Copies of this chain bind each other. A is one copy, B any other.
């Protein structure tokens, strides 16, 4: 197959980890006879500097003409004092909304060989393998009215039935391919939006008799993600709760650098990015962990291109390098073999 991919490397280590991901996909292309065409576009801080806005028109055009988007990370102290509309992360919110990337998938896994770096006790983190499904284009993030003056501030949490249905159905579909369990997180004892959410979950669940589901209040979920994380399979929740809970859960792995994400439109088009930030303090030093970006590329193969075998090949290669005792700089204190970003990328490519 021939696929055209918009590559938005962004700022800081976003650049080096995206390069790692495209290098790995090139080797997948050679092995499985696909051709990936990479088209670079600006996003985030660099886009503000060079094009005067975090998401330039030109970048939108590049993405529209592509089959998927591969993203690095955006932001950095250089843009911290810019007005809101010139903040790098504004570009992220805009691109999500523009392309209707309403379903955000964040898998969280405990890698056996890295249990030593998890803040959780090894027996608590062991075996964790969950998929957090976050609604990404509704709720408090985009509701109107939304304003503040010196005396008062208002944000609005709005959801329409279709927005909730879409993400909940996605969660149940995923559960069927996994361990057949969905935990829907809401705050139905307080929020009206959660009451509608809960109702829709119950309606959708009727079409999935094989999937076991439960409702959990967000405060209870924030506890259970730490006390008993292995109990979760698929977790589905609204935008703001998803932001908080997915970051919370991500610490189980012991390093944000390991974790990928996908943001999907209903037709399968998607944007793929590691969950870590641009880490300006270590940018350009060839020490960043490329695995989150590489696993994001694997999610792209699976979710946007239907290349299941190729996605698994990438995931297996990563696993095998980890099992051989290799790691990047952030794990240097646990007696493993430390590689640079490029060396790690090469090792993974060699396993493919």
Contact residues of A with B, CB < 8 Å? 84, 87, 89, 93, 118-121, 124, 140-141, 143, 146-161, 187, 189-193, 195-197, 199, 218-220, 222-223, 225-227, 240-241, 243-248, 250-251, 256
Contacts and interface: CB of A to CB of B under 8 A. Distances in A.
A189 to B, nearest CB: 5
A-B CB proximity, top 9 nearest: A153-B196, A222-B248, A153-B193, A219-B247, A148-B192, A155-B157, A148-B196, A119-B124, A226-B251
Contacts of A240: 187
B148 A153 contact: no
A74 to B, nearest CB: 11
Given A124-B119, A161-B150, A227-B251, A155 B192 contact: yes
Contacts of A220: 247
B248 A148 contact: no
A240 B158 CA distance: 16
A158 B147 CA distance: 10
A160 B151 contact: yes
Contacts of A250: 223
A114 to B, nearest CB: 13
A199 B150 CA distance: 9
Contact of A223 (B141, B161, B248): B248
Contacts of A223: 247-248, 250-251, 256
9 contacts: A89-B189, A118-B121, A120-B226, A140-B191, A152-B159, A152-B161, A154-B193, A218-B243, A248-B248
A141 B157 CA distance: 12
Nearest to A149: B196
A149 B193 CA distance: 9
A192 B158 CA distance: 15
Contacts of A256: 223
Nearest to A122: B121
A50 B143 CA distance: 41
B89 A119 contact: no
Nearest to A90: B189
A245 B227 contact: no
Given A146-B192, A193-B153, A226 B159 contact: no
Contacts of A154: 143, 156-158, 192-193
A110 B340 CA distance: 38
Contacts of A187: 240, 243
A222 B193 contact: no
Contacts of A219: 243-244, 246-247
Contacts of A156: 154-157
A156 B219 CA distance: 19
